[in-house]
Amino acid sequence: MTLRVSPRLDAIPRYVPGMSTAEALARFGVEDAVKLSSNESPFGPLPGVEEAVAAVAAGLNRYPDGRAGALRARIADLHGVGDDQVIVGNGSGEILLLAGQALLDPGTTVVYPEPSFALYPHLAQASGAEAVPVPLDDAGRNDVAAMAAYVDERTRLVVICSPNNPTGGYVPAAAVERLLDEIPSDVGVLVDEAYHDFVSEVDRGRVMSMARERANLLVTRTFSKAFGLAGARVGYGVGSPGWVDAIDRVRPPFHVGAAGQAAALAALGALTELDSRVRTLTAERERVQGALRAAGVAFTPSQANFILVGPFAPAVDAAPVHEELLRRGVIVRDGGALGAPGTIRVTVGTAQDNDRFLDALAAVRGARELRDNPRAAV
C-alpha cells in the first residue's frame, strides 16, 4: 500500500547540500580536500563557545528554555529593541518556513528572487500558495522594483535575500525602503540577511534599523556563517511584536536546543574576535576577486563570504570544471544546482584554502594568469 500524502509534496523541491569532505575523499581518491562549498566559516568556534556548550552538557536530559528567553534578551539589547521584537529559530531557515506557515494560505502569493536560496519556493508549495519568482538584475541583486510590481491583493509575503545567495549581490537599504513605501503596509516583507556580517557597503545595518519601526518588516540573520556555528543551528529575526507573535504561534516547542542557545550567547560575547575574523575573510574575498579579475575570469562581485565564478565560455561547461576541481581536492558548488548554470560558487576560506582553489582553477582552465597572480595584493 502506498502512503497517501499531500499532492503538494510533488512540487516541493528537495534541498541538496554540498558534497562533504568525506564524500569527496572517497569518491575521487584524493589525499586531502578543502571544503569551499557550503559558505561555512573556516574558523573554529569563537572564544568561550566550547566551554559554554560543555557547561550545559550535564543537563541535556532536561528540555531547554522553550522561548530562548536569555538569547532573545541579548539579541534585543544588541539591536535596541524589546525582546518581544525578537524571534529565535533552529537556524534562520526555520524562521523562513515558519513565516510561510504563519502568513500563507491557498489562493495567496509569495514573491521572492530567483535564483536565490532554495528554500524560498518551498514556502509556497508547503502552504498551497502561489510562488512568484522574480529574476535578479544584471548585477546579481534582487530586483526590488520588479518585485514590487508583482505585489497585488493576493500577496501576503515578499522575501528579499541580501546579499543574495548564490550571487552575492547586495540590495541598498534605500531600495528596500522604497519597496516598503510602495506596497500595502499589511503585506509581510522578510529580508534574509544571512550574510550581513560580510557586507562592506556604507548603509549596512540600515534595514535592521527599519525593522524597529516598520510593522510589516522582519529581518532575519544567522549564527551559521560569520559566527561559525553552522552545526549548532541557531538563527534569529527582528521585527514588530505582531511578526514575532505570528511566528511564535506556529513554531514547535523547544525548537532551539540548549547547546545551541548556550553557543549563541557565548558567541555574542566575543564580538571583537568576530570582527577580526570577518575583516580577514572580506580581505580574502577581495584578494580572490582581484586574482580572478586579473586573469580575465568572469565572476559576480560579491558582498558575501562566497563568489559566483563564471559563467564560463560556452566551450567550457561548468560541470566538468566543478568535477575537475573535486579531483584536485577542492570542493565547490556547481552553480547549475543553485539555479545559475555555467558557474561555480566558491566559499571564501583561509588564505591557504583560497590559494589552493586559485591554483586548481588555473590548472583546470590552463589560465597561467591565475597561477602567476594568486597571492597578488588587491
Q: What is the pLDDT of residues 145-169, one digit of tens each?
A: 999 999 999 999 999 999 999 999 9
All cell numbers assigned to 278? 570577518
Percent of the chain predicted with pLDDT > 70: 95
Is the preceding omega at residue 42 within 30 degrees of 0, hence cis? no
Percent of the chain predicted with pLDDT > 90: 84
Bridge partners, 86 (sequence order): 238
Q: Does residue 116 sit in the same domain as residue 239?
A: yes
Q: What is the pLDDT of residue 375?
A: 47
pLDDT digits (tens, 9 = 90+) for 70-87: 999 999 999 999 999 999
pLDDT digits (tens, 9 = 90+) for 268-281: 999 999 999 999 99
Q: Does residue 243 sit in the same domain as residue 362?
A: no
Q: What is the pLDDT of residue 283?
A: 98
pLDDT higher than 90, residue 185: yes
Q: What is the pLDDT of residue 11?
A: 79
Place of cell 502512503: 3
Q: What is the pLDDT of residue 371?
A: 39
Domain end: 246, 267, 288, which one? 267
pLDDT digits (tens, 9 = 90+) for 304-324: 999 999 998 664 566 789 999
Q: Does residue 281 sit in the same domain as residue 233?
A: no
Q: Residue 31 — very low, low, confident or very high, per pLDDT cuts 50/70/90?
A: confident
Q: Does residue 168 sit in the same domain as residue 68?
A: yes
Q: What is the pLDDT of residue 6?
A: 85
CATH number at residue 102: 3.40.640.10
Q: What is the pLDDT of residue 319?
A: 74
- What does the H/E/C string look like for the chain? CCCCCCHHHHHCCCCCCCCCHHHHHHHHCCCCCEECCCCCCCCCCCCCHHHHHHHHHCCCCCCCCCCCHHHHHHHHHHHCCCHHHEEEECCHHHHHHHHHHHHCCCCCEEEEEECCCCCHHHHHHHHCCEEEEEECCCCCCCCHHHHHHCCCCCEEEEEEECCCCCCCCCCCHHHHHHHHHHCCCCCEEEEECCCHHHCCCCCCCHHHHHCCCCCCEEEEEECCCCCCCCCCCCEEEEECHHHHHHHHHHCCCCCCCHHHHHHHHHHCCCHHHHHHHHHHHHHHHHHHHHHHHHCCCCEECCCCCEEEECCCCCCCCHHHHHHHHHHCCEECEEHHHHCCCCCEEEECCCHHHHHHHHHHHHHHHCCHHHHHCCCCCC
Lowest mean pLDDT among 50-59, 283-292, 314-323: 314-323
CB-count burial class (<10 Å; 0-12, 13-18, 19+) for 22: exposed
Note whether residue 378 is domain-resident.
Answer: no
Measured in residues, the chain has a length of 378
Q: Does residue 260 sit in the same domain as residue 112?
A: yes
Phi and psi at 200, nearest 5°, equal -115, 5
- Domain region containing 260: 49-267
Structurally, the chain folds into a number of domains equal to: 2
Q: What is the pLDDT of residue 4?
A: 85
pLDDT digits (tens, 9 = 90+) for 323-378: 999 999 999 999 999 999 999 999 999 999 999 999 999 999 874 334 344 444 33
When pLDDT is averaged across residues 182-204 and rounded to a whole number, the result is: 98
CATH number at residue 29: 3.90.1150.10
Under a CB-based contact definition with an 8 Å cutoff, are residues 187 and 160 in contact?
no
Under a CB-based contact definition with an 8 Å cutoff, are residues 363 and 325 in contact?
no
Query: What angle do helix axes 21-28 and 318-327 make, rounded to 10 degrees?
Result: 90
CA-only gyration radius of the chain, Å: 21
Place of cell 521585527: 239
Tell which residue, 147, 154, 148, 113, has the closest CA to residue 130. Answer: 154
The residues, any chain, with a CB within 8 Å of residue 365's CB and separated by 6 or more, are: 297, 316, 321
pLDDT higher than 70, residue 255: yes
Q: Residue 97 — very low, low, confident or very high, per pLDDT cuts 50/70/90?
A: very high
Q: What is the pLDDT of residue 1?
A: 65
Q: Does residue 66 sit in the same domain as residue 40?
A: no
Tell me the C-alpha to C-alpha distance, in Å, between residue 227 and each of 73, 221, 232, 314, 375.
18, 11, 10, 38, 26
* Alpha carbon distance 135, 137 (integer Å): 7
Q: What is the pLDDT of residue 377?
A: 33
Under a CB-based contact definition with an 8 Å cutoff, are residues 61 and 90 in contact?
no
pLDDT digits (tens, 9 = 90+) for 113-154: 999 999 999 999 999 999 999 999 999 999 999 999 999 999
When pLDDT is averaged across residues 193-199 and rounded to a whole number, the result is: 98
Q: What is the pLDDT of residue 41?
A: 97
What strand order describes the sheet that includes 344-347? 299-300, 306-309, 344-347, 333-334
Q: Does residue 334 sit in the same domain as residue 209?
A: no
Domain end: 252, 267, 282, which one? 267
Q: What is the pLDDT of residue 235?
A: 98
Write down the pTM of the prediction.
Answer: 0.93
Note whether residue 91 is domain-resident.
Answer: yes
Q: Does residue 164 sit in the same domain as residue 29?
A: no
Q: What is the pLDDT of residue 370?
A: 41
Question: How high is the mean pLDDT of the chain?
Answer: 93
Domain end: 267, 285, 303, which one? 267
Q: Does residue 78 sit in the same domain as residue 13?
A: no
